[in-house]
Amino acid sequence: MHHLLLIAHGSRRAASNEAVVALAETMAQQAGQPVRAAFLELALPSIAEGIAQCVQAGATRLDILPYFLAPGRHVQQDIPQQVAQAMQAHPQVNWRLLPHLGAAPELADFLLRHWQGANL
């Protein structure tokens, strides 16, 4: 079964983390496939725990999407390292680390449409 793990930074503010979890739930409903959220730091589940949850739920293919706008240290180093370490515990899973959200070519168009919609 194909799963998506959405990785956000994590916040000390519970409402911020809950918003990411709600986004993952909305994505799962729209996609008709399992989507979960995990956090780099400051919140649970951690990346390792999120991966384990996906595997326990039957993931045989796992795509990992960093929910970050810029390719900073977390995107370039921290997330790939944590994902690689966690996935060593689950060699039976076919996984790939997707480009971070900010790298999506559609993002500029989305932001322009959002801005234009706000100007109505």
Catalytic residues: 9
Tokens of 71: 């390719």
Helix axes 79-88, 47-56, angle to 10 degrees: 40
Q: Count other C-beta atoms under 10 Å from residue 77's C-beta.
A: 10
* Nearest alpha-carbon partner for 81 in 44, 40, 117: 40
Distance from C-alpha of 105 to C-alpha of 40, rounded to nearest angstrom: 24
Q: Are 25 and 57 in contact (CB under 8 A)?
A: no
Give the pairing type, strands 94-97 and 35-39: unpaired
